[in-house]
Structure 1
Amino acid sequence: MMWAVARPHGDEFALYHRGGRYRQSSERRGERTVSKNPGGKKNPLLAANRADRNRKIFIQVAVAAVLIGLIAAIGIGVAVKKARKDDPGPTPSIPAAANTSPDGVTGTITDNGAVRIGKPNAKVTVRVVADLQCPACKGFEGANAQVLADAVNNGTAAVEYDVIAFLDKASTTRYSTRAANASYCVAEADPTKYQAWVSSMFAQQPPEGGAGLPNDKLVQIAKEAGYPDAVANCITDVKYDKYIQARTDDVLKSGIKSTPSVFVNGKQVESSQEIFGPGGLGPVIAAAAAQ
């Protein structure tokens, strides 16, 4: 900060130059001079000028102090605001959700955030890591929706849907995150209806590069899958936004490079034919169940 230095008042300056040449005052030389005032009295004009100068200096110092205080307060406010922005607070956890359908299929949300659908004694576990904006994931669903539904219903396999959001840049409204949030909203309400909801979401998947489906459309899809009106607020408020970002980071750090990534009893399925071909994962699930 630049500080202004007070200059002597014009009249005082004239006193130093009175008589046509420069005369240094006693205050500046540190010694006494002959006073123009008779009887050695103080010059009232000089005293008044000094008082005026001191008053101005005091005002300048006071103003500077106020400005410094304001700048400091603004700086603290900006720092606090930035700290709050950088620290979004604790990540909300997914609530425990469990339900069992009349035919014995149980739906739960696992500790790591996957939605698990299947009978308790299922020998095979199929894990599907997907993004609801991913076109290849839609292809996987088309090839395997019925295969996975049959495997769940006959007790052969349980399916864990691990929905993440890494394609937000493929839309103008963070559709990937909003769709993943809807995934948790419906799973929280009733995970046993989740597979039907997933199929509907992929059937109505929006093209990449656009705005994605609006929230009211996501609410409509949930209702059409049999979910109550209560899921609407969860969807429109994007309740699990922070959790989805944290979960997505964890999944990507674990080594997942693309979606869909499919695992059967912990072993990744690499063959495109087994993932997207006719019959989909049927032969892979059957082979795992036979072991």
Structure 2
Amino acid sequence: MSHSPEPAQVSAVPRVAVVGRANIDITVRIPGPPVPGRTTFASSPATTTAGGKSLNQALAASRTGVHASLIANAGDDHWGTFLYRTLTDATVDVSGFHLVPSAPTGIALIEVDPDGENRIILARTPNTELTGEQVSSRLAGPRASVVVTQLDLPPDAVDAVFRHHRAPMLIGNLVPHPTLGPAALAPLDLFVANEAEAAAILGRHHDDPTVAARELRELGPSAAVVTAGPRGAAYSDAHDTALVPAHHVTAINTSGAGDTFLGTLAARLAHQIPLSHAVADGVAAATTFVSSGVQR
């Protein structure tokens, strides 16, 4: 008597939901710092790309092999449509990404110097900022394994993430909105910041990013990560505090490297990879990005 083979067990693809902002990036490369009162000529034509920290993070997470979704708004204009198309082309779930009628899409102006360092000016659109009601309704869909949120969003939006996220892991990044302050770090499973953001929260700069990571964790999150550019990233949790070094590369553009790191980190954590290994994968992805200027 023959038996039919048992059906193969299909493991669910982890979900990462990113809550925050999306905008258009207009990037120019300049030969040196602008001089007041004088015109600075760009080294090459300006480039226009999809951007915004949360959009970049969702793209990076999707490329790392998870079901990534973006909860954000943009204007119902040419640029908003461009952002929507960029997300769908990258197989990012856009059910939580809405285009707001009669609102312009935000724009970031980015200057990149010969060393690959960047200066960013973000022109936000108030009508596209997330509200608490929007966040709670859009998080009501399939439960994510990891939720990443910008802490500088309007307070009611951040509070809604805290109340309604339902994810086993909540990651926050950026300096919290002034009315929330460092208390916003306490509900987090993981807080991720760069060295400048860590210094703004702690009130002092630490030459050693592991010290900054440890002090951030003392503010309440279960773990903290401080990205340190070409030196890599430091992490601190209940088991260990350490620096994961980065390989030396020639930087072409550092704008978006931190988002590539965080999107990759979130995706690896969604696969239940230990924090130290996830940080190492994030550092490797960010290193590839700064040396190529392209998310992998």
Higher Rg of the two aligned structures: 1
TM interval, shorter chain, is under 0.3
Larger strand fraction of residues? 2
The alignment's TM-score, normalised by the length of structure 2, stands at 0.25
Q: Which has the higher contact order (CA 8 A, sep 6+)?
A: 1
